[in-house]
Structure 1
Amino acid sequence: MPDDAGAEEAAEAPDLTNKSVIKATMLLSELGRHPKGITVTELAQEVGMTRPTAFRLLLSLEQTGFVERVDNKYTLGWEIARLGRLADPHRGIISRVQATLDALAEQLNETMGYAVVHGETDFDVIAEASGSRLLSVSQGYVGQRYPLHASATGKLVLAELPEERIEELLPEVLPAMTRYTLTDRAELMRALREVTLQGYATMDNELEEGLFAVAVPVRDSEGRLIGALTANGPDQRMKSGRLPHIVERLRQAAHDVAKNLTQGVPVSA
C-alpha cells in the first residue's frame, strides 16, 4: 500500500536536526527572560539541561558575542542586539497566524485581525484577512495605531494592568472618537473589570460609528498576553445574535495560534 510505504520511508528518514543548536537557542530564549543575568546552574535548571552541557554551550556563545558574562552571571550579548535590529520582528509571526486568519475570515465572513502585544501598553496589528461580503469592513488595519480606551485590543491590554497603573497612564477624561466613546476613566475601568470576567473585549461604535469589534487574548504557556485575535464588522450584523458564536470560534483559534507561536522542541540534556 502507498500509505504503508510512505510511513515506512518516514520512519527510516534520518533526523537532520542538530540538537546542540536547539539547546543553544533554548538557552538564549531563557536568557531573554533574565535581563539582569542568571548563573549557569540556575539557567540549566530552568531549561532542564545538565550544568556541564549548559556551561559548554554558553562558553561557545560567549566567544561569538551572543552571550556576555559578568562575574558568574550570563546575559544576552551584543551580537543578539545587532541581529535584532536587522530582523523584521513580525515576519515569522505573520507566517504562523495568516492561515488561521484566512480560515476564520472564510468561516465567519468578517474581517479578522491579529495584533502583537509588546511592552506594557503597546500593540501592533500585523496581519488581517477579509470575508467575501459586499458590505464588510475594508482591510487596512495593519500598521495603524489605535487608542487603548477605544479599541477592543486596547481594552484587553489595559485589563491586564492593576487599576492603580491605569490611573497613572490615563487621564480622568479621555478623548472622544465618537459620541459612544467611553470618555470617563472610572466608567472605562468598570468596563475593564467586565473584560476580565468575560475573557474578551468589545468595541461598540466607540472608534467609528457603525463599527463593532471583538477581541480575545492569545497567551503563552505562562499565561502572559502576547497577542489578540479580532473580528471586525458592521455593528448591526455583529450584534445580531452572532456574538457568542464568534467569540467561541475566536477562542478556539486563539488556542491554536498560541500553541503554534510558543511550541518548543523537547530536547534531552
Structure 2
Amino acid sequence: MSLSTVEDRRSSLSRGLSLLELFTVNRPELSVSEMARRSGMPKSTTHRLVGDLLAAGILERGDRGVRLGLRLFELGQLAPSQRTLREIALPFAHSLNEVTGLTCNVAVRDGTEIMYVEKISMRNLRVPHSRAGGRLPLHCTALGKAILAQSEHDLIESVLSGELPRLSPQTITDPELLRRELARVRETGIAFDVEESQPGLFCVGAPILGPQSRVVGAISVTGATGVSQAQRFAPAVRASAMALSRNLGYRPRHRNSTMAHS
C-alpha cells in the first residue's frame, strides 16, 4: 500500500469523523446538503462519505435526512473505562436517586469537559445537558469541580489559565475565585453548583476515586435551586461516592481520611 493511499484513507476517516460531530441534541437529524454546508466540504465529497457511513451502520436514514446509527452506539458501549465505571456505578446511582428523589448523574472527564455516562432522572425535571453523552465545562459544574479538585496540578493550572466561559450569571469565571473554590472542594470532598451551569438548578457532587487515589469520575444529584437544599443532600452524595470508590479499589490512607489528596 502506497503512502499516498494511507494518507487518503486517514483524510477520509478524519473528514468522516468531522461529519459525525455535526450532530447535536438539538440537531439529531441532518440532510446531506446541510452537512456539506456546515462542514465546508464539497457536496459530492459529503455525499460519498455519508454513503460509506450508512453502509457501515454508523449513520442511518431518517425522515428528513440521516442520523447517528445503532452501530455507533454499539461501539461506544465497548469503551472499557466508561463501561466499567457505568456498570459499577449504576446501582449506587439508582440508590442515590431513590434516597434523595433527585436526578442522579455520573460523569467522567474528557479534556476540559465532563461527559455524562449515566443519568437516573427524577420526574418533572428537565436537565437537557445531563443526558448520557452530554458535555459541559469542568469549571461550572459540581461534577467537574469534584473531578478537577482531585486532578493533577498541571490540569488544574491549564484550566485556570484557559478560557472559563460563562454559562449563567452565577458561573465562576475568575481564576483566583475558582482556585479557592477547588481548594474548598479538596478539603471537604464535596462540590456545589448553584445555578452556575443552568439557572434554576443546583447540583451537589463528589469525586469517584480508584486505586492510588486517582480520580476516575464523579457522582451528583440535581434539583431545584436552593443552597440549603444542596447542603442537605451533601452527606448522601459523599457517602455514595465513597462506597463507589471503595468498589473501584480506592483505599483511604488513614482511617479518618477524607477523599481529598494530601
| CA gap 1:150/1:87 in 2 versus in 1, 3 angstroms | same
Deviation at 1:215, TM superposition (A): 0.7
Scaled by the length of structure 1, the TM-score of the pair is 0.56
The question of whether the paired residues in 1 share the 8 Å contact of 2:92 and 2:240 is answered with: yes
User: What's the CA shift string for 1:124-156, capped at 9, x where partnerless?
Assistant: 311111234x3x344642111111211112212
Partner Cα distance (1:204, 1:98) in 2: 25
Distance 1:131 1:103 in 2: 12
Q: Which residue of 1 aligns with 2:193?
A: 203
Paired residue for 2:224?
234
Q: Distance in 2 between matches of 1:92 and 1:193?
A: 29
CA contact (8 A) 2:201 2:224 kept: yes
Distance 2:237 2:109 in 1: 17
Q: How many residues align structurally?
A: 174
- Relative distance call for 1:187 and 1:244 in structure 2 (3 A) is closer
CA contact (8 A) 1:117 1:225 kept: no
| Structure 1: gaps spanning 5 or more residues | 1-83, 264-269
TM-score, with length taken from structure 2: 0.58
Equivalent of 2:168, from 169, 178, 181?
178
Q: Select which of 72, 85, 90 maps to 1:98.
A: 90
Aligned equivalent of 1:87, options 78, 82, 87: 78
Percent of residue pairs identical: 27
**Where does residue 120 of structure 2 map in the other structure?**
129
**1:210, distance to aligned residue in structure 2 (A):** 0.7
Corresponding position of 2:238? 251
Amino acid of the residue matched to residue 155 of structure 1? K
Runs of 4+ more than 6 Å apart: none
Q: 1:107 to 1:195 in 2, by over 3 A?
A: same
Cα distance in 1 for partners of 2:99, 2:206 equals: 17
Is the alpha carbon distance of 1:109 and 1:183 closer, same or farther for their aligned partners in structure 2, counting shifts above 3 Å?
same
Alignment of 1:1-269 (within 5 A): 87-89=78-80, 90-117=82-109, 121=112, 123-132=114-123, 134=124, 136-138=125-127, 140-161=130-151, 166-171=156-161, 174-236=164-226, 239=227, 241-262=228-249
Amino acid across the alignment from 2:168: T
Q: 1:131 to 1:86 in 2, by over 3 A?
A: closer
Greater Rg by CA: 1
How far apart are residue 85 of structure 1 and its match? 9.8
Secondary structure of 2:84's counterpart equals helix
CA RMSD in angstroms comes to: 2.8
